[in-house]
Amino acid sequence: MLANLGGLALTDVVVLSDEQAKAVQEAFKFGGKSLETARSFGGYVARVLGTGPEDLIGLLGGDWLRIRRAENMASMAHESLKRLERRGVLSQPATLSVALPLLTTAADEDRKELVDLWERLLAAAMDPSRQVRHRFIETIQKMDPLDAVVLKEVPDGQRLEPNPIAYLSQKLGVGPDAIELSLRHLVELGCFREAYTKVGDWIGTFTMVTHTAFGRELLRTLAD
């Protein structure tokens, strides 16, 4: 019996040839995985891309033994569609020029802080009211998990006392050196702007973190 994906049966969106079905079945038997997993993956990708399973092998880099990548993609697509449903947004297939690099880049990620950003970005790609820039994909790909947390925790233009490093260190329960590295990295990525610095004391003297136009647009795109 085919999986039903939120009321949408796989047979409603894709049709597998005998050859394709056999290839998928053999691949997903590897490691004890079932054909149901393959079908779910195919159904979600069809909803995201508006295309059928003939493109899936290429999407996975030609390696059907990478079952975990397929599961990551299916889970990410599922959660992204749920986000849109909660917002009352009628999803549309994402532009292939955005969705393909997004999915293939995010497929190997399983750290929850970054998975959350990828799910948000994929939801935005299926939201007709939002625009996903290629630079967003490149930026998230370069982030570490703490960077993702800091990005969401830092308010724009608000004073963080006694300074952002101490404030975030206490709030997140993370050492100040790790916080400073994330702040530095987010400045390098163009999300934050240096402000209120003194010579020789790069970020510890900040009393305010200022977002760049790029950082604000990225956060707007990722917002629920």
Where are the chain's structural domains?
145-213
Burial of 224 (0-12, 13-18, 19+ CB in 10 A): exposed
CATH of 145-213, one of 1.10.1060, 1.20.58, 3.30.519, 1.10.10: 1.10.10
C-alpha closest to that of 160 among 191, 206, 117 = 206
- Angle (deg, nearest 10), helices 67-87 and 112-125: 60
pLDDT, position 7: 35
The rounded distance, in Å, linking the Cα atoms of 42 and 54 is 10
DSSP string, 96-113: HHHHHHHHHHHTT---HH
pLDDT at 204 (0 to 100): 63
CA torsion 27-70-42-218 (nearest 10°) is -160
Residues whose CB is less than 8 angstroms from the CB of residue 135 and which lie 6 or more positions away in sequence, other chains included: 214
Sign of CA dihedral 82, 83, 89, 92: negative
* Per-residue pLDDT at 75: 85
List per-block mean pLDDT (blocks of 10 residues) for the chain, which spans 224 residues: 32 44 51 51 62 51 56 84 93 88 88 96 96 97 98 87 91 96 94 71 69 96 94
Task: Output the pTM of the full model.
Answer: 0.75
Q: Which residue has the tokens 């290429």?
A: 58
- Return the ∠ at Cα 170 (arms to 167 and 172), rounded to 5°: 100
For residues 193 and 210, is the Cβ–Cβ distance under 8 A?
Answer: yes
Alpha carbon distances (Å) from 99 to 40, 103, 130, 140, 158: 18, 6, 14, 14, 34
Residue-level pLDDT at 100: 86
Determine the Cα–Cα distance for residues 148 and 184; give it in Å rounded to an integer: 13
Max CA distance (Å), the chain: 68
Give all strands (DSSP E) within the chain, no chain letters.
Answer: 4-5, 8-9, 192-193, 210-211
